[in-house]
Amino acid sequence: MGKGSRSKGCCGWIIVICIAALVVTAVVLYLKSKQHHHSSATKPGSIDKNYAQALSISMQFFDVQKSGKLKNNKIAWRGDSALSDGKGANLDLSKGMYDAGDHMKFGFPMAFSATVLSWAILEYGDQMASIKELDHAQESLKWITDYLVNAHPSKNVLYVQVGDPVIDHKCWERPEDMTENRPLTQVNKTSPGTEVAAETAAALAAASLVFKSSDSSYSDLLLKHSRQLFTFADTYRGSYSKSIPEVQSYYNSTGYEDELLWAAAWLFHATGDGSYMTYVTTENGKAFADWGRPTWFSWDDKRAGTQVLLSRTSFFNTKLSSKAENVGLQKYKETADAIMCGLLPKSPTATTSRTSGGLVWIDEWSALQHPISASFLALVYSDYLLTSQTKSFTCNGESFTTHDLRNFAIEQADYILGKNPMKLSYLIGYGSKYPTQVHHRGASIPKDANTGCKGFEWLNSDAPNPNVAVGAVVGGPFKNDSYIDRRTNIMQAEPSTYTSSAMVGLLSGLVTTSSVPRTFS
């Protein structure tokens, strides 16, 4: 399938849209739905205690990964770190989150984490609130968006990396004890980075919707930066992997076209500005969207996410301003159907890339990224079908329903939570058996240890981590369903913040029995 499978070893939906017909139609459909029993004024259905527990645990990994001056810190072995980040450019880049088990701040995957976490909150904020995790999710999101705003000091400048990965990976130490130089890397007009600027634009547009009702001035600030970043990304086109060759060993981009569509789609939802819909449905859609060809959703490839996000507009019967736009929008929805058909095991076009235990398996590096992201999309799409009273969709003539998509998501989630041949939970802290040697520096070194940069004895130790990286989702199993619990097994044992964002979205959608998104309002 599509690009972006490589990785380094490393409330409710609130959309103000200007098209009155959309609002009226969606609300009418919402009220008529016989299967949907909660509204923005009522609580979701009964809570699934297992998924609720898993969600609360998953949310804690964002606290584990925080950089900066920590507030209300609930992770006993974490403390303040990287307080001087950004000072070389007179910026405060102390916040943000470390991407994985190291101490780098890579802007590309960090922004993607924020976009997906925003989407999860927008779709399933009511479910998060039902188990008192919505405030936690919003606070975690703001920790990233505060950083992203500060990393964009002028219209055509975006700081996309803090730290030197070569220096960083020569050290094994707690983030609180870092003394190494942490240089800043930027993209600008002469060294463009379209994909990272566009992904940051997407993150800030999506987050602006999250905070629209609770903090309108902050929402406006995010949207201002989002618009500027999209214009920067689109005007000065060029890959950050070419401008900054060093990133190719860590978060190499295989193209920026998908991020442009992804960002424009989010800006359309955030602003109701029809020019963004024109952007994604006409010439740029034809050139960049790969209509009709299913792809995998990841930090590097946003096409599948864009297809599903734009299908929301199709489901709720928006009539756009031109025939070309309506045709383009329909092609996004048809491609979203094709993506779903590839996921369902009984579909004629089902992917055969699965383990014997039933897990979708695409890549040996961060193997769980793809099944988690795909399951999140399947759940969202299922709920779009349900809310719009669309009874089914077809895969080469065979019909499938919302239940088929939800069951797929449940099967993948249950595998990750322990229903697998290893009887092992890949969510750290959940269940009675999970990996004990997560590839994570802070978790692997005792809080009172004085290692300096060279604490490699803790990397190479056979003992369990002294600190639990609670909420981490490790890289995952090999294709034969096996997992080797060794800290030096980076391929399988390293968690990532972007995988956790998708996991939070997936679990939030499963936490109640009536998991249906709110309509536009």
Catalytic residues: 439
8 A C-beta contact, residue 118 and residue 15: no
CA nearest neighbour of 177 among 458, 423, 425? 458
Nearest-angstrom CA–CA distance, 178 and 278? 47
Nearest-angstrom CA–CA distance, 47 and 515? 10
Nearest-angstrom CA–CA distance, 510 and 516? 10
8 A C-beta contact, residue 364 and residue 479: yes
Q: Which residues pair with 81 in a beta bridge?
A: 68
Sign of the dihedral through C-alpha 5, 10, 258, 409: positive
C-alpha dihedral (172, 176, 178, 182), degrees to nearest 10: 110
> How many other C-beta atoms lie within 10 A of the C-beta of residue 218?
18
Residue 375's H or E segment, with its range, is helix 369-387
CA nearest neighbour of 270 among 199, 202, 195, 326? 202
Q: Which residues pair with 427 in a beta bridge?
A: 473
- The DSSP symbol for 358 reads S
Nearest-angstrom CA–CA distance, 152 and 378? 33
8 A C-beta contact, residue 182 and residue 164: yes
Nearest-angstrom CA–CA distance, 214 and 97? 23
Residue 491's H or E segment, with its range, is helix 490-493
Distances (CA, A) of 219 to 124, 149, 203, 505: 19, 12, 12, 21
HSE-CB of 179 using CA atoms within 13 angstroms: 6
> How many other C-beta atoms lie within 10 A of the C-beta of residue 99?
27
- The DSSP symbol for 174 reads -
Nearest-angstrom CA–CA distance, 506 and 501? 9
* Residue carrying structure tokens 């009984």: 346
CA nearest neighbour of 263 among 208, 337, 339? 208
